[in-house]
Amino acid sequence: MDKIIKNFAIGLALLIILAPLGLLAVGETFGEWGPEEVKEKLGFVPPGLEQLSSLWSAPMPDYALPEQGDSMSTAAMTYILSAVLGVVICGGLLYFVGKKVAKD
Amino acid sequence: MHIPDGYLGPYTYIALWIIMIPIWYYAGRKLSSELKSRQVPLLALAAAFSFVIMMFNVPIPGGSTGHAVGAAIIGIVLGPWAAVIAISVALVLQALMFGDGGITAIAANCFNMAVVMPFVAYYAYKFISGGTEITSSRRVIAAAIAGYISLVIASAFTGFEFGIQPILHHTAEGVPLYMPYPLSVTVPAMVLEHVFGFGILEALITALIFAYIQRTDTTLLYGEKSAAQKKKKKNASTA
């Protein structure tokens, strides 16, 4: 049991290190365009979409620091940092809460 | 598959919040009554894994990019209700901190990826596995198919939620207020890229992790009795 958990943790660490590979995929994702991209497609931005799209300013938009520039190595580093934060926060929260509620 | 803010109008996103709140509540109750100490590290790893695997954007022919979710294997290993919690935590963090998926759309994204996916995957796996031995290779195939169809069905839900927007929300002149494309565009767009691309990735990940657990410790799998429980049962039946 413990060995499996250890191996999964090693696998997860590898995924974190390899995460910047996910940056190599260039292209758009259907339904995840920004307002400017919608404007390019349609010639206008649907008013509700424009209004709601600026509702929230995430501290690390698109797994990067705001205005970090175009450097690929910076992007790779902030991407790894995002993965580490995600793992620590998600894993930490569930571990902590899980330990509190778990039986035996 | 992370719907941003502005693509779903209030009817849809509020409806999905109303659907999700009791689901989260029930999933939380079920988790706190059933979770065993030895499953806690696995639950934590599951949420972390789902978070990271969604960062692996892969390109597919046609210029689109997307990713696997990891929800199928989590549903099969931890059970669908625990998967609801693990994947929701990852999705909420992605929305709040990284702007991946909208705030208004958190419930919609959780419904598609943290509810539809693990439930479809779990029952598809159960159905295809049938009464085969836990170590049967048929179960690896079952896990792969479960991963594939669960992501495809989740993408169809997403496409449907997108496509009803022009019907629900438009100006008097017919100008769409939110997602502008109709069902005839959104459903094929979402489904096809998952049928020919990301679904295959989800199938591979699901089968790979399942096969690993199958070869190491099947008692980790949801619904399988632990060695101690088996022993107890055996003792009880021989007594």
Which of B51, B102, B212 is the closest to A87 by Cβ?
B51
pLDDT of residue A26: 82
Could you give phi then psi for residue B64, rounded to 5 degrees?
-100, 155
CB interface of A with B, residues 44-103, below 8 Å: 44, 46-53, 55-63, 79, 82-83, 85-87, 89-95, 98-99, 101-103
Structure tokens at A14: 């590898």
Which of A49, A87, A98 is the closest to B6 by Cβ?
A49
Could you give phi then psi for residue B25, rounded to 5 degrees?
-60, -50
Mean pLDDT (whole number) for B13-33: 97
Mean pLDDT (whole number) for B12-33: 97
Structure tokens at A28: 């758009």
Residue A71 domain boundaries: 2-101
Q: What is the CA B87 to chain-centroid distance, rounded?
A: 7
At B153, which CATH number? 1.10.1760.20
- State the DSSP code for A100: H
Name the amino acid, one letter, at B68.
A
pLDDT in tens, A2-58: 889 999 999 999 999 999 999 998 888 999 999 999 999 999 999 999 999 999 999
Nearest to B90 by CA among A6, A85, A81: A85
pLDDT in tens, B36-89: 998 999 999 999 999 999 999 999 887 889 999 999 999 999 999 999 999 999
- Does the distance separating the beta carbons of B103 and A31 come in below 8 Å? no
Task: Tell me, yes or no, whether B235 lies in a domain.
Answer: no
| DSSP letter string, A7-48 | HHHHHHHHHHHHGGGGGS--SB-TT---HHHHHHHHSS--HH
Could you give phi then psi for residue B213, rounded to 5 degrees?
-65, -40
Mean pLDDT (whole number) for B96-116: 97
- Does the distance separating the beta carbons of B4 and A90 come in below 8 Å? no
Residue B175 domain boundaries: 10-225
Task: Tell me, yes or no, whether B239 lies in a domain.
Answer: no
Task: Tell me, yes or no, whether B232 lies in a domain.
Answer: no
Which of B51, B97, B180 is the closest to A59 by Cβ?
B97
Nearest to B153 by CA among B184, B194, B189: B194
- Does the distance separating the beta carbons of B56 and A19 come in below 8 Å? yes
Lowest mean pLDDT segment, chosen from A8-17, B21-30, B219-228: B219-228
Domain count, chain A: 1
pLDDT in tens, A53-99: 999 999 999 999 988 888 889 999 999 999 999 999 999 999 999 99
| Mean pLDDT over the full length of chain B | 93
Q: Are strands B64-66 and B58-60 parallel, antiparallel or unpaired?
A: antiparallel
Query: What is the C-alpha to C-alpha distance for residues B140 and B131, in angstroms, rounded to an integer?
Result: 14
pLDDT in tens, B165-222: 999 999 999 999 999 999 999 999 999 999 999 999 999 999 999 999 999 999 889 9
Q: Directed axis angle between helix B71-78 and helix B199-216, to 10°?
A: 30
Query: What is the C-alpha to C-alpha distance for residues A77 and A25, in angstroms, rounded to an integer?
Result: 17
- Does the distance separating the beta carbons of A102 and B55 come in below 8 Å? no
Domain count, chain B: 1
The two most distant CA atoms of chain B are separated, in Å, by 79
Task: Tell me, yes or no, whether B1 lies in a domain.
Answer: no
Report the residue of chain A nearest B189, measured CA to CA: A30
pLDDT of residue B61: 80
Q: Is the pLDDT of residue B161 over 60?
A: yes
Q: Is the pLDDT of residue B20 over 70?
A: yes
Report the residue of chain A nearest B180, measured CA to CA: A46
pLDDT of residue B231: 57
CB B143, CB B210: distance < 8 Å: yes
Cβ burial of B155 (10 Å; 0-12, 13-18, 19+) is buried
**Is the Cβ of A14 closer than 8 Å to some Cβ of chain B?**
no
Nearest to B86 by CA among A75, A95, A38: A95
pLDDT of residue B226: 57
Nearest to B130 by CA among B119, B142, B120, B121: B142
Which of B53, B86, B98 is the closest to A15 by Cβ?
B53
pLDDT of residue B140: 97
Task: Tell me, yes or no, whether B157 lies in a domain.
Answer: yes
Structure tokens at B171: 């100006």
**CB contact set of B73 (below 8 Å; sequence gap of 6+):** B121, B143, B147, B205, B206, B209, B210
A1 pLDDT tier (thresholds 50, 70, 90)? low
Distance from CA of A45 to the nearest CA of B (A): 9
